Amino acid sequence: MSFLTHTTLVKRLVCLSLLALSAASPTLHSAENLPSDISLETQVYPTGVIYGARYERAISGKQALSIRLGVQDIDHEDEGEQDDEVGDGFGFTLGYKRYLRAGHTGPAIGFKTDLWFNSIDWRDDIGTANERSGQTDVIVLQPTVEISWHHPLGNQFFITPTAAAGFEINVDTDGEDVGEGFIILGGILVGIRF
């Protein structure tokens, strides 16, 4: 399956996920008056930065589902499979969160799965007669566990710091192998609740 075919498949999955959340939203909202959040998010990890937009929909008094669309800047430097790896990518995230108290505020724990479509420019044996370079397109599955703390800022706005840990798993690679493995992330969301 080509990289372009994967991209088309992901766009369809994202659209279906958004439609499912949208379809469930009015029913859930009218039945229990449960909140929805829209937020902008930044996550940093030792070799990159993720920027995203997240939609979270409560499904009970303490539980919520979310979807995120995002882009990332990657700089593995020499921590990848090659001597230098730099790139970027786009992807989406599906998540589940359970708040520890009612009202969808305060501490929460969640599970997320990201699917990233990254393009990595790499160099190996830098500065030697054997130096070589290339580009790798890679699809990355990234399951993580996330803890967060939702802080209301007035009636509608909020800020939420997050910390996450999990794994980057290269599930499809077109080109030389590039970095994967354990990952930790710190982040912050700023958004509005309605």
Mean pLDDT (the chain, rounded)? 88
Confidence (pLDDT) at 20: 53
Q: What is the reported pLDDT for 7?
A: 53
Q: How many CB atoms lie within 10 A of CB 31?
A: 8
* Per-residue pLDDT at 33: 83
Share of the chain above pLDDT 70, in %: 84
Type of residue numbered 178 = V
- Residue 160 pLDDT > 80: yes
The pLDDT, as a whole number, for residue 31 is 47
- Residue at 5: amino acid letter: T
Take residue 124 and report the two structure tokens written for it: 């190996």
Residue 81's pLDDT band (cuts 50, 70, 90): confident
3-state secondary structure 63-126: EEEEEEEEEEEEEEECCCCCCEEEEEEEEEEEEEEEECCCCCCEEEEEEEEEEEEEEEEEEECC
Q: Is residue 27 scored above 80 in pLDDT?
A: no
DSSP per-residue string spanning 115-163: EEEEEEEEEESTTSTT-EEEEEEEEEEEEEEEEEEEEEETTTEEEEEEE
Q: Are 79 and 96 in contact (CB under 8 A)?
A: no
Stretch 38-51: mean pLDDT, rounded? 97
The CATH classification of domain 3-193, taken from the options 2.40.160.20, 1.10.4190.10, 3.40.50.10480, 3.90.650.10 = 2.40.160.20
Residue 40: strand, helix, or coil:
strand
Distance CA(72)–CA(43), nearest Å, equals: 9
- In sequence order, the β-bridge partners of residue 176 are none
Q: pLDDT at position 2, please?
A: 46
Is residue 11 predicted with pLDDT exceeding 80? no
Q: How far apart are CA 75 and CA 120, in angstroms?
A: 9
pTM for this entry? 0.82
Question: DSSP class of residue 15?
Answer: H
Residue 8 binned pLDDT confidence (cut-offs 50, 70, 90): low
Structure tokens at 89: 């990518």
Higher pLDDT pick, 9 / 180 = 180
Residues paired with residue 57 on neighbouring β-strands, in sequence order? 36, 65
